[in-house]
Structure 1
Amino acid sequence: MAVQFSRTQPEVLCLSSRLVNILCRLHYLQSLLKNNRMKAFFGVCSFLVLILDVTQGCPWMQHKFPQYSRTCLTLLKEMGEKIVEDNVGVHFPDALYRVARKQQPERIIWFIAQVLDEVSLLLDENVTAVAWDQKKLKDFMSTLDTQLVATQSCVVPKTKGNERLQVVSKTKGNERLQVVSKTKGNERLHLYFENLRNETLGTMEDKAKAWELIRKEVHHHLTKIDLLASTRL
């Protein structure tokens, strides 16, 4: 069931304001030119730049993503005791984040969507071995899923073939949307999350400790994508 994320009124207003600013600046620069041919040429170039800005932008990432990101981080902290500092045994993929920072906005959003997808799948387990606040855990998962679907809507309409992600309805206790990738995306990132699960839930007898290690890693990832979105989008 494909899902399209509709823009809310505040997002449309933010987009309109941004376009007005762009148009004013382009008009001013054009007025400085004296040659009519150059003005015409500059006008065409300005129009193309404007169209490119409209099609490439994703207001949700700029105006709503930070809000959901902060909510997720707060709930993740408050659902349990202080986040542990123990070593997980799996190297955090800092190199992948450094590469992502150098990409174009669309690819950065794609990377962020995959991180959210992997986190959602990782936490899609029966979390009963650890004494987390169930209400805050439920709110965290709900917020994460909303963030995931909305973030992905920024890139889904622009993808083709096997790059397309499909949103399906899944029922487990309560109904929620979960994004399932039809492509491996960033294989190294996917492999990292598989190794993380194997090194914690797959091998550790103390499942409560395993979940706390996972919470630590998830917190690190959500902090990284929040920084990535705020500085590169």
Structure 2
Amino acid sequence: MLSRILSVCVFLGVFSAGSSLSCRWMDHKFRQFSKDSFDLLDTMANNSTNITEDAEARHTVALPHELYSQASKAAAEDKVIFTVQILDETMTLFSKNHSAASWEEKTVDNFLGVVSRQADGLRSCIRSHGHKKHNKKLHMSFKRLTHVLQQKGHGAEVWELIRKEIKSRLMRVDQLISSLLN
């Protein structure tokens, strides 16, 4: 009888460990950090000047939908890895010259701090720490953002376009990670 109970416990332990990604940080902290990043992006919008919409630039900066589609069908850990890459790329992007944007420096610093803590927290949920997958198409989409920034001279209008696009991307990965939460 004791061996049956032990067998059932071992089976349940192995099954539950392999069936989904279990991470306390994600379950307890992700939503708060995500909300904080959206609040800070909204604060940045409130400090922005009115802009005219550049349809060509908007199309250029939009992330291809197939990347999210692929990520949404991926294994739980791959969803987290995809999200961490977006957060890392966002930090790199917002570390560029944004002096022409009408955002307060403190708000940008707070945003970068929240995104950094969010990436670190999610990174702690990845079991294969040594194996870092890097999505080249995702990286190239952020390179396009950098290219548009350079083309438009890092001006306030293009930074507002970038801010909107980053918010859109972060909302998509928020949905991606929320699908994994308990």
TM range (shorter): 0.7 to 0.9
State yes or no: 1:48 paired with 2:14: yes
Determine which of 206, 210, 214 is the counterpart of 2:158: 210
Determine which of 147, 159, 162 is the counterpart of 2:118: 147
Deviation string 1:27-84 (CA, Å, 9 cap, x unpaired) is: xxxxxxxx9997665444223224546x941111121011000000011111233797
Q: Which has the higher helix share?
A: 2
State yes or no: 1:77 paired with 2:47: no
Larger radius of gyration: 1
- The CA deviation at 1:134 is 2.3
- The CA deviation at 1:127 is 1.6
- The CA deviation at 1:204 is 1.1
Q: Which residue of 2 aligns with 1:103?
A: 74
Percent sequence identity over matched residues? 29
Higher RCO structure, 1 or 2 (CA under 8 Å, sep 6+): 2
For 1:3-152, what aligned pairs fall within 5 Å after superposition?
Answer: 41-52=7-18, 56-81=21-46, 86=53, 87=55, 88-90=58-60, 91-152=62-123
Deviation string 1:179-220 (CA, Å, 9 cap, x unpaired) is: xxxx6x001000111012112x12114611111111011110
Residues of 2 paired with 1:142 and 1:133: CA distance? 14
Residues of 1 paired with 2:27 and 2:92: CA distance? 25
TM-score if structure 2 supplies the norm length? 0.83
- Give the CA RMSD over aligned residues: 2.7
Q: Which residue of 2 aligns with 1:6?
A: none
Quickly say closer, same or farther: Cα 1:39–1:118, change in 2 above 3 A: same
Residues of 1 paired with 2:59 and 2:17: CA distance? 47
On the 8 A contact 2:41/2:111 being kept in 1, the answer is yes
114-123 vs 130-139, greater mean Cα deviation: 130-139
State yes or no: 1:195 paired with 2:165: no
Q: Which residue of 2 aligns with 1:158?
A: 128
Residues of 1 paired with 2:113 and 2:99: CA distance? 18
What are the ranges of 5 or more consecutive residues in structure 1 without an aligned counterpart? 1-34, 165-182
Letter of the structure 2 residue corresponding to residue 77 of structure 1: D
For 1:209-228, what aligned pairs fall within 5 Å after superposition?
Answer: 209-228=157-176
Provide the secondary structure at the position in 2 that maps to 1:202: helix
Number of positions where the alignment pairs a residue of Structure 1 with one of Structure 2: 175
Letter of the structure 2 residue corresponding to residue 89 of structure 1: H
- The CA deviation at 1:93 is 2.0
